């Protein structure tokens, strides 16, 4: 059997890449971005910004963004295509909201089934005129307005995308915009705001949530950005090394943002031999190296309160769970049903097909680990979901290449170099 060996620097973080492009476009001056993730999702954001009049070009290994300020977008001549990217759709709706332009956002078949009212309800409360397809979906027509009302918003669902959309809109609103989130979510937007010297306040509240206050409008000066490597992409190789005998790897310069590496705590709790070495801080994010060795994992219970911090890692955590001794219970997975696929269904149907004992109770998944599954050719449905495709590509190492994944092209949505990086880490 192949094993994971060696060290690797993986691609730039997807969440930070989206936000870097958008905030750079709203600044004044030229921002040079290093290690930007060059994936389909990120290019969707880049192409929309270009359609809004933002000059973006690549010089050697850096992307240059010529910012037009917080109210500098031009009305586009065509529809704005978000592709498969929910981050693009939701963040760009917020970014254009306080610009006096009309925009129509579209997306692919998968994205057009994902809820957008969770963002647009807040934008409507500010004063935007918005029309959604069937009251919830793309295509969406939005009329921007540079006289939006400064409003207080309480997040009804934990969502970094929705929070970020409101924050981006608030950059060009006259007065105080307040956002209260009762559960912690990814804070890359807040960190980039601080890095760009945007003067706003954050106050921690009970349950780990926060209250964010912005007093706009702002003038933002450009700053160069170095994008840290993606911890969610690292998760696939971390789990691969943990479940594959004789494996030992080191992943370099990974973003160690606490809202992004909760999965490492889960894997350690399952018995994973994982060491984290923080090395430096770049652009407001701590980064470092993650060293992983093969380990005998055991099942655990994952409580629902941590669910918002594991939303992208549950598919690969399910792969770890199926190789662990005993039972793993994942609670509170309702948000997984609204990603690129219904990930509860995608995980459960594929693992059942392979012979694993896995059950669903409402929005909870129970997986009984089993090491000795009979190897035979099986077709895996990716459901056009990049994280499902990558997760079962990792399990395929254990299955000695017996799994046939129906659509590996969808991996390009978030991690075009995944196969190359996987092959670099694999050895006999």
Residues tagged active-site: 312
What whole-number distance in Å separates Cα of residue 351 and Cα of residue 357?
Answer: 8
Structure tokens at 107: 């997306």
| Class of residue 402 by CB neighbours under 10 A (exposed 0-12, middle 13-18, buried 19+) | middle
Q: Are 186 and 260 in contact (CB under 8 A)?
A: yes
Distances (CA, A) of 285 to 60, 254, 292, 343: 24, 10, 22, 29
Q: Characterize the bridge pairing of strands 28-34 and 225-226.
A: parallel
Query: How many CA atoms lie within 13 Å of 199's alpha carbon, on the beta-carbon side?
Result: 6
Nearest CA-CA partner of 95 in 259, 187, 210, 220: 220
Sheet holding 55-59, edge to edge: 55-59, 62-68, 28-34, 225-226
Strand extents, DSSP E, 351-415:
357-361, 364-368, 378-380, 403-405
Nearest CA-CA partner of 92 in 159, 150, 177, 21: 21
Nearest CA-CA partner of 303 in 208, 392, 406, 188: 208
Residue 197 region by backbone torsions, left for phi larger than 0, else alpha for psi between -120 and 50, else beta: left
Residue 71 DSSP SS3: coil
What whole-number distance in Å separates Cα of residue 119 and Cα of residue 161?
Answer: 8
Residue 134 region by backbone torsions, left for phi larger than 0, else alpha for psi between -120 and 50, else beta: left
């Amino acid at each position: 059997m192949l094993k994971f060996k060696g060290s690797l620097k993986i691609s730039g973080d997807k969440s930070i890449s989206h936000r870097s492009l958008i905030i750079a476009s709203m600044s004044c001056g030229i921002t040079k971005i290093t290690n930007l993730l060059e994936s389909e999702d990120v290019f969707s954001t880049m192409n929309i910004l270009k359609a809004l009049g933002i000059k973006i070009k690549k010089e050697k290994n850096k992307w240059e963004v010529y910012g037009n300020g917080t109210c500098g977008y031009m009305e586009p001549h065509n529809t704005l295509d978000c592709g498969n990217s929910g981050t693009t759709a939701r963040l760009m709706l917020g970014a254009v909201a306080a610009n006096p332009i009309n925009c129509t956002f579209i997306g692919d078949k998968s994205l057009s089934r994902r809820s957008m009212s969770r963002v647009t309800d807040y934008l409507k409360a500010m004063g935007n005129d918005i029309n959604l397809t069937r009251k919830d979906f793309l295509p969406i027509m939005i009329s921007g307005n540079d006289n939006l009302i400064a409003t207080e918003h309480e997040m009804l669902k934990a969502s970094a995308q929705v929070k970020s959309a409101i924050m981006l809109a608030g950059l060009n609103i006259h007065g105080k915009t307040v956002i209260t989130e009762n559960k912690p979510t990814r804070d890359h937007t807040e960190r980039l705001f601080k890095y760009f010297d945007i003067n706003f306040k954050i106050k921690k509240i009970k349950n780990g949530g926060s209250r964010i206050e912005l007093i706009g409008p702002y003038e933002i000066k450009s700053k160069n950005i170095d994008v840290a490597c993606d911890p969610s992409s690292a998760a696939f190789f971390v789990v691969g090394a943990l479940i594959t005998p004789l494996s030992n790897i080191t992943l370099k310069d990974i973003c160690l943002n606490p809202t992004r590496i909760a999965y490492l705590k889960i894997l350690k709790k399952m018995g994973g031999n994982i060491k984290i070495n923080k090395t430096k801080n770049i652009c407001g994010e701590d980064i470092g190296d993650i060293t992983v060795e093969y380990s005998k994992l055991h099942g655990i219970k994952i409580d629902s309160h941590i669910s918002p911090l594991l939303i992208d890692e549950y598919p690969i955590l399910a792969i770890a769970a199926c190789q662990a001794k005993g039972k793993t219970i994942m609670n509170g997975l309702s948000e997984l049903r609204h990603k690129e696929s219904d990930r509860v269904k995608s995980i459960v149907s594929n693992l059942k097909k392979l012979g694993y004992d896995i059950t669903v109770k409402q929005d909870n998944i129970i997986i009984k680990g089993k090491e000795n599954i009979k190897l035979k050719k099986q077709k895996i449905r990716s459901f056009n979901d990049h994280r499902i495709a990558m997760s079962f590509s990792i399990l395929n190492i254990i299955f000695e290449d017996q799994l046939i994944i129906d659509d590996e092209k969808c991996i390009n949505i978030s991690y075009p170099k995944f196969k190359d990086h996987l092959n670099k880490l694999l050895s006999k």
